[in-house]
């Protein structure tokens, strides 16, 4: 009865208020079952549905809720959602989740990136907010030369978009020319999410710089927010090895690795992707940087292509999409990584380098390394590990949320 009148009240308020800013108005309590407070006491920012004692059936997706232990003691505040992860913690303090809250957390996030020196004459692409790593679970914001692209992974963040946009404006000031919100693919369909500009607008594709190289960014039709920012440092490292080399960049998307190699005077770069659109994007990026003379592209399935390489390469990049999105696909994923890497190890030139990656969160760095070692054993060649790679500092890992570590890679030399 209480819940149904509450729901009725919600509906009335919904109709008169903007749905998004409404998120902070009602703070309801979610009580946990006995013993289920332990992970929150260790500052882990998720509450799973099985941990909840309260009947939440009448709660609205995106509500800000107060989390209490079984004795009613305050633990945290977070965004509620009808999902396996039922609450994502925004703060372990008692505070209002309002404009001031978002201003503070987003200012800290922006400040970190500016302190890291990521906005300079040669670079204006970086991640501004990285979910749990910035104490903003469910929120991704990427920055492309003056344009912030927001991707919400929770309904609570989607309902907070006005706060987020306002906070970004405040933190960036005149460095920001537009804000685009792109969440229709990343939050449940029951929310009719609109992809739209929340500030200004911008012609697509938009030119932005990573380590001195121009890239065309298209957040509207491109994958994710338009670019795979998490490989910036690893692409720069490839640049250091690439002078005079013949390089094969598989799973190239918009040519991120290819262009950094070409910028450091690689002799020849072949870019491969199964998506024709990705290859067109790569070619157009190669062209605007005037590298066409040293580049060729291939539309093909990487696994098939790698079985029988037509050329001798000095460097091969293997950066596939996540082979396993869930734990139950992990074994299959490992077999895929092993096969792909074994093909590369078997055929690369003696002394050649392989930059190999996995962005599957369920495959940790130890399992990944062991998989590459297994591939080396299978190929019968001698392999050594030169570099161990990971996600960059603008994709920080919350120490209490190890699930946030997802990108791992190795540079191996095949002797």
Helix (H, G, I), strand (E, B) or coil at 158: helix
Q: Nearer Cβ to ligand SAH, position 80 or 305?
A: 305
Nearest CA-CA partner of 197 in 178, 223, 222, 220: 178
Q: Nearer Cβ to ligand SAH, position 47 or 229?
A: 229
Q: Nearer Cβ to ligand SAH, position 143 or 251?
A: 251
Q: How far is the CB of 305 from ligand SAH (least distance, A)?
A: 8
Angle of CA points 337, 46, 333, to nearest 5°: 10
CA 283 from centroid of its chain's CA atoms: 24
Spatial distance between the Cα atoms of 181 and 196, rounded to a whole number of angstroms: 5
Q: How far is the CB of 321 from ligand SAH (least distance, A)?
A: 4
Q: Nearer Cβ to ligand SAH, position 181 or 254?
A: 254
Spatial distance between the Cα atoms of 365 and 409, rounded to a whole number of angstroms: 8
Spatial distance between the Cα atoms of 36 and 48, rounded to a whole number of angstroms: 9
Q: How far is the CB of 256 from ligand SAH (least distance, A)?
A: 3
Q: How far is the CB of 143 from ligand SAH (least distance, A)?
A: 16
For tokens 């990573």, what's the residue? Answer: 210
Q: How far is the CB of 136 from ligand SAH (least distance, A)?
A: 24
Instruction: Look up residue 393 and give its two tokens.
Output: 């500092």
Instruction: Look up residue 378 and give its two tokens.
Output: 């299978």
Q: Nearer Cβ to ligand SAH, position 40 or 149?
A: 149
Q: Are 161 and 181 in contact (CB under 8 A)?
A: yes
DSSP code, position 226: S
Spatial distance between the Cα atoms of 290 and 285, rounded to a whole number of angstroms: 9
Q: How far is the CB of 298 from ligand SAH (least distance, A)?
A: 9
Secondary element (H or E) of residue 283:
helix 276-288
Which residues are at the interface with ligand SAH (CB under 6 A)?
A: 228, 231, 251-254, 256-257, 273-275, 278, 301-303, 319, 321
Q: Nearer Cβ to ligand SAH, position 47 or 363?
A: 363
Strand partners, 45: none
Q: How far is the CB of 158 from ligand SAH (least distance, A)?
A: 25
Strand partners, 209: 214
Q: Which residues contact 327 (CB under 8 A, 6 or more apart)?
A: 362
Biggest alpha carbon distance in the chain?
A: 74
Q: Nearer Cβ to ligand SAH, position 169 or 339?
A: 339
Half-sphere exposure of 109 (CA within 13 A, CB side): 33
Q: Nearer Cβ to ligand SAH, position 60 or 319?
A: 319
Q: How far is the CB of 258 from ligand SAH (least distance, A)?
A: 9
């Amino acid at each position: 009865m209480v819940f149904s009148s509450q729901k009725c009240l919600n509906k009335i308020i919904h109709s008169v208020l903007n749905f998004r800013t409404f998120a902070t108005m009602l703070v309801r309590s979610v009580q946990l079952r006995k013993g289920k407070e332990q992970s929150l006491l260790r500052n882990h920012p998720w509450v799973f549905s099985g941990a909840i004692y309260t009947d939440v059936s009448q709660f609205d997706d995106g509500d800000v809720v107060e989390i209490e232990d079984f004795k009613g003691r305050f633990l945290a505040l977070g965004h509620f959602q009808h999902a396996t992860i039922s609450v994502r913690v925004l703060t372990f303090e008692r505070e209002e989740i309002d404009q001031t809250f978002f201003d503070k957390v987003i200012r800290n996030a922006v400040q970190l990136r500016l302190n890291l020196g990521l906005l300079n004459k040669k670079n204006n692409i970086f991640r501004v907010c990285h979910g749990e790593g910035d104490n903003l679970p469910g929120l991704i914001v990427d920055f492309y030369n003056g344009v912030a692209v927001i991707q919400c992974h929770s309904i609570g963040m989607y309902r907070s978009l006005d706060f987020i946009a306002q906070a970004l404006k405040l933190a960036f000031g005149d460095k920001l020319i537009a804000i685009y919100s792109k969440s229709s693919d990343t939050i449940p369909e029951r929310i009719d999410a609109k992809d739209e500009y929340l500030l200004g607008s911008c012609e697509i594709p938009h030119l932005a710089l990573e380590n001195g190289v121009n890239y065309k960014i298209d957040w509207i039709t491109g994958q994710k927010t338009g670019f795979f920012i998490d490989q910036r440092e690893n692409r720069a490292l490839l640049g250091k090895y690439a002078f005079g080399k013949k390089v094969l960049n598989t799973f190239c998307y918009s040519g991120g690795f290819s262009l950094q190699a070409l910028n450091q005077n690689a002799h020849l770069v072949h870019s491969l992707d199964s998506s024709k659109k990705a290859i067109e994007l790569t070619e157009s990026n190669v062209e605007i940087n005037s590298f066409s003379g040293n580049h060729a592209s291939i539309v093909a399935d990487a696994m098939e292509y790698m079985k029988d390489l037509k050329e001798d390469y000095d460097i091969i990049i293997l950066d596939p999409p996540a082979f396993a999105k869930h734990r139950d696909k992990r074994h299959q994923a490992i077999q895929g990584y092993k096969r792909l890497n074994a093909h590369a190890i078997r055929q690369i030139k003696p002394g050649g380098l392989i930059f190999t990656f996995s962005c599957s969160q369920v495959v940790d760095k130890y399992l990944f390394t062991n998989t590459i070692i297994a591939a080396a054993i299978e190929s019968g060649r001698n392999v050594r590990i030169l570099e161990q790679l990971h996600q960059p500092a603008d994709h920080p890992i919350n120490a209490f949320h190890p699930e946030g570590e997802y990108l791992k890679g190795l540079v191996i030399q095949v002797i």
